[in-house]
Amino acid sequence: INCVTFPHPDVMPEQQLLKPSEWSYCDYFWADKKDSQGNNTVSGFEILLQKQLKGKQMQKEMAEFVRERIKIEEEYAKNLSKLSQNSLAAQEEGTLGEAWAQLKKSLADEAEVHLKFSSKLQSEVEKPLLNFRENFKKDMKKCDHHIADLRKHLASRYTAVEKARKALTERQKDLEMKTQQLEVKLSNKTEEEIKKARRKSTQAGEYLCPSLVGGRHSPTD
């Protein structure tokens, strides 16, 4: 199927579609998409190609989603840090005052954790997504140029094959004509040789008969 060899269906159970009730490119990774009558509607290659082309928009949306999460984390860390510096109940003394101070310190520590997490999201998730998207654009351009060159090469090869096919057809016609001419020529030559042999045989017979006659009777007779 599409230049890929699979085990015979008799020795392998049929793979169930991942989403039988709706379209999914996963279900047409190797095979072609068919309609209800079993006719091919879209080739599997085209489905995968369209999926790849949609990946550009998908990467952009994923990067935007992560960017929103980063903003939330940064805003949350900012608010926690601001709250930890609030002076409310700062005058409390004793063990309760120490517990209250520890509570505000825990808020500051949590703010630092969320701030580091937002920075990590930006450096390890958002930035690679954007870089991949940018590189994907460059790679797609290279692939487009490469495919265009291959198509030109294929078109030239196709033209050459068609030219060779026409030349071969002409040579076959010429060979058939010459073969027929040769057969006719050989037939005529053979017929001529047969006629020639018959004439020689007749002449030999005519020459032989008078000799036999002459042997039985004298010329004066």
pLDDT on residue 18: 64
Question: Is 81 a member of any domain?
Answer: yes
pLDDT on residue 69: 94
How far is Cα 191 from Cα 197, in angstroms, rounded to an integer? 10
Averaged confidence pLDDT in the chain: 79
Question: Is 104 a member of any domain?
Answer: yes
Give the CATH number for residue 14: 1.20.1270.60
pLDDT on residue 201: 72
Question: Is 59 a member of any domain?
Answer: yes
More confident residue, 38 or 210: 38
Q: Which residue segment(s) compose the domain that 142 sits in?
A: 9-171
Question: Is 216 a member of any domain?
Answer: no
Nearest Cα to 128, choosing from 57, 52, 63, 53?
A: 63
Q: Do 32 and 2 touch, CB atoms closer than 8 A?
A: yes
Task: Say which DSSP state 36 is in.
Answer: T
- The model's pTM is 0.47
Q: Model confidence at 21, in pLDDT bands (50, 70, 90)?
A: low
% pLDDT > 90, the chain: 20
Distances (CA, A) of 127 to 62, 121, 151: 11, 8, 35
pLDDT on residue 220: 47
% pLDDT > 70, the chain: 76
Q: Model confidence at 183, in pLDDT bands (50, 70, 90)?
A: confident
Question: Is 179 a member of any domain?
Answer: no
